[in-house]
Chains A and B, each alone.
Chain A
Amino acid sequence: MATRRGFLAGMMAAGLPRIGWAAAGSPDFLAAAKAGEAYELHGLTAAGDSLFAIPLPARGHAAAAHPVRAEAVAFARRPGTFALVIDCVAGTVKARLTPPEGRQFNGHGVFTAEGGLLMTSEVVAEGSLGRIGLWETETYTRIGEWDSGGIGPHDMKRLADGRLVVANGGIETDPKDRSKLNIATMRPNLTLLSPEGAVLEQAVLEEDLHTNSIRHLALMGNRVAFAMQWEGDPAEPVPQLGLWQPGQAPWLCPPGEAEAFAMKGYAGSIAAAQGLVALTSPPGGVLMVFDAAGAPLAVHRRADLSGVAPGPEGLVATDGQGGIWAVEPEGLRLLARHNLSWDNHLVALA
């Protein structure tokens, strides 16, 4: 802790010029999109207006927003060989992150509260053992890595006290073609890391759910909501939502029986706000709303829904037809529609 604090203080003291998000129009969200044949990163307001659109060289997966500076890190799709640090005011690429030899980005990253450190989910290409890559953010230089505590880490979230929770999806993939190599033996977990990267606690699912890959996370205070993707028999009704209070066993939150297959076993994104948890399923074309205790409240249908994130006025979702929606228990309320396709994830700015 002392080392990292000292490092951050040094960075602050260096007094380098920084341009805040206000200069980029103070977006509430970042979202990648495909417009015609071009890929873009957009800054969005809570009302769904686009403040900027910056070209991306290829389709991305998720992005991470620097908490202070108007910088976004856009991660390539898995297996990722690069991530781009984008200056959202100038619209230029400020840095290109390349994982060390034998490592691949796995689609997600998160900054520390002050933004001095970027953490990236990575795998050792051969075997998919998880790593958390560490990058200082003035020059975006690699300064180290941690063990993620499992195979195939995907999403991760930083708790307010600096601890990091990682979704180790459990799937070993072929480094070249993404094919899944260990479905019969996979064992996903949730791993809680200290601010220094030590494994504090791990949670696993019951044996009969060992093929439910834990992939995406949302925080409700210190409680973790996690979203899963089922690799088992699609005819088995399994939950896509779980909740975990570190110190306790995780518990699963199935939907109502009539909606047991609505998500086709696949949750694409998850977000929590104002006592609600929302999960999207692009293949199912649904968004499910649960309360903070995991009880199902509603199912809303909309083709190709994927991104969902907490905004200043509540949860917002995006879809592959350009729609941006306010998520309410009663239904989806259209905020805006753009003539493009919103990509997998919608990223909230703090």
Chain B
Amino acid sequence: MKKALLFILIASLVLTSGFAQGTKEQAKGEKEIVILVKNMGNGFFDAVYRGSQEAAGQIGGMKTVYMGPPQPTAEGQIEIIETLIAQRVDGIAISANDADALIPVAKKAMAAGIKVISFDSGINVGGRIVDLVPSNEELIGRQQIQLAAELTGHKGDIAVLSASAQATNQNSWISWMKEEIKDPKYANMRLVEVVYGDDLPDKSYREANSLMQKYPNLKAIICPTTVGLLATAQAVKDAGKTGVVEVTGLGLPSEMKGYILDGTCRQMALWNPVDLGYTSTYILNGLIDGSVKGNVGDTFPAGRMGSVKVEANGMIVMSTPFVFNKDNIEEYAAIF
């Protein structure tokens, strides 16, 4: 038994040291910021970090570090923030796995003098100074229905394949999709069901298959998540339903290039994650300098993005999603 316990102890030590290790090799006077993402290994966040590096290079005297838990959980992010408080970094930009669970630890970080903002998937008021929204949630949701309508000629059954049932941003987009489809111009379209693939390829693939099985008149599947979109495109292609069941949603150009070129997913949308990381970094820079407080009505300079303005509840809206299709996919696939 002793042997077994020792074994587990060693195993857990190996694991925690592998994942939670942060390095602190900051030169005096240099600003250090952390881009804390939902989980490691997500192409979208890799692009966010690239934008942050670009901005840090332009600002100068700033070091940006990329971190995230191995699994997309709030617990993992809380652990990392605790470590960052101990390391006394200057700023953290977070894409949150839970809008409320991170508030206490984020408050602790702010009390320790760290500037905390959220981006992409926000933290509720009280847990961050400002929240950078990639686009207006209303515009994203409405645009998804518009994209599906264009593909299906404004008629037929459509379904939504989302991430997890409690994902903050997906749920808000879906509620706007439900608003948009009430418009009389979609009278011949019906949103039949919302299913959840939990951002796992195998589960999403299976759910996409059941949708096709369950609704013989299905004309389109909307996937407002990159993992779900990839798996759905593969499932539709495997079922031989390319052109019968249209696929659209929010996807990464490099991952979706093949499916866009072969016609499985003829168009999809996404804001530019590079710009998101870039703008977050400029916002943190303003806050760390103390040149902008982040109060409602304040304006942050944001390099090539011009400037962004703080609105009610500390929200900052960046831009409207960009539509990718076979004409522009090659160009963007090379970037992210």
Tell me whether A and B are bound partners. Answer: no
Residues of B within 8 A of A (CB): none
